[in-house]
Amino acid sequence: MKLTYFERKEDYQLISINNHPTHLTYEQTGGAIGDPVPPAKK
């Protein structure tokens, strides 16, 4: 994965799958995408 941060925005680019180069997006791979888990409440 390649992460770029420009003008207060993050851009994630998938660059390999199983050690093979790819130009696919996360959406094209058919995998799950979700929000990070929120921190535990004290």
DSSP per-residue string spanning 1-42: -EEEEETTEEEEE--EETTEE----HHHHT----PPPPPPP-
Cβ count near 38 (within 10 Å): 6
pTM across the whole model: 0.49
Report the distance separating Cα 1 and Cα 6, nearest Å. 16
Predicted local distance difference test score (pLDDT) of residue 21: 92
Q: Which two tokens stand for residue 9?
A: 């925005």
> Could you read off the pLDDT of 13-35 as tens digits, one per residue?
888 888 889 988 877 887 666 66
Cβ count near 14 (within 10 Å): 16
Report the distance separating Cα 8 and Cα 42, nearest Å. 30
